[in-house]
Amino acid sequence: MGGRSDGHPSTSALPSWLSTVLGIEGAGLALAVVVAVAVLSLTTPYFFTVENGRNISTAISYTGICAAITTLVLAGGGVDLSIAAVMAIAGTVAGGLLDAHYPVTVAIPAALAVGVVAGVGNALLITVIGINPLIATIGTQFVLRGFAYIVISSRELLINDKAFLYIGQGVVFGIPVPSIIMLACFIGVGIAMSYTMFGQHIYAIGGTADGSMARLAGVPVRRRQIQMYIASAVVSALAGIVLASYSGSATGNTAIGLELPIIAAVILGGTALGGGRGSVIGTILGVILLGVINNGLTLRNVPYVWLYVVQGCALLLAVVIDERRQRREAR
């Protein structure tokens, strides 16, 4: 389910089998995860336990769901900064309907439908009107965040529906349901990117600055971009449902600022910020690495504000790595 080969030379510093399976950068990221786990296991007795493993896998599930689809968007030369706001409005729509005594069979489809509307809005602004994706999705981010507050009158709703709570708090054969949903999303996106015509078109579009070469090759660029942004919003809405269920509440503040750590995890995983290359396996490792570090800091009772410092450093590191990668490929 990985993306295209980067063509980097092999290195003796990494096990050959690991480099073969994950690629040089993926193998390096995997080793970083192992080192982080080893260090935290030695410094806190509460880290390396089955229960904490479940806690980590659940805590990274909603970011992982968004990161999976963000891999596809970035590989396609796009960017979507409205994903966290979509998570918020999906959660508040679902929570509002449940609070109004609608069944979960109505609340969940309605929340996903909001994702469709958001995705269509982003797609039209970008592909029809021609607004830069960064600017367009920043604008829709504010609009959607505002509606997330309006839907529930700027209050926090507590969710008590057991069927809905099972999505974010349930366990199947010892595995948290949110983790299962996250893995399903990664598998689905990985298959789409590696084994379908849609995925080939996404890589082709992202491989050029404006998709012109892909258009000359017969790729329906506008249609694929519309599908890409709709998929981004719908999957983000799913992540919002998982988060609302996991927290047992719905609020307009949900996932605020989460879009940048998600993008950082994707870029750390080897997806090119400029498009044309991406790997869900790398993204999984990026999500796990940031999740492990955040969990370790929490267990070490490090003040929460330092998590922002870590996330900021991760984003800067991801951009530096991506810049160096592009320069290396340009030689």
Rounded distance, CA 311 to CA 307, Å? 6
* CB atoms inside a 10 Å sphere around CB 244: 32
Q: Which residue is it, tokens 């084994």?
A: 195
Domains in the chain: ranges and CATH: 16-39+46-330 (1.10.3470)
Helix (H) or strand (E) holding 16: helix 16-43
Q: How far apart are CA 180 and CA 205, in angstroms?
A: 31
What's the confidence (pLDDT) of residue 9? Answer: 38
**Would you state the pLDDT for residue 327?**
74
Q: Which two tokens stand for residue 300?
A: 């070490």
Residue 126 is classified by DSSP as I
10-residue mean pLDDT profile of the chain (331 residues): values are: 43 45 64 89 89 93 97 94 97 96 97 97 95 96 96 91 96 95 96 94 82 78 95 98 96 92 90 84 92 90 83 81 72 67
Contact 164, 245 (CB under 8 A): yes
For residue 262 the two structure tokens come to 């998600």
pTM here is 0.89
The whole-angstrom distance between residue 102's C-alpha and the CA centroid of its chain comes to 29
Per the DSSP assignment, residues forming a β-bridge with 249 are 158
Question: What distance in Å separates the CA atoms of residue 118 and residue 140, rounded to the nearest whole number?
Answer: 8
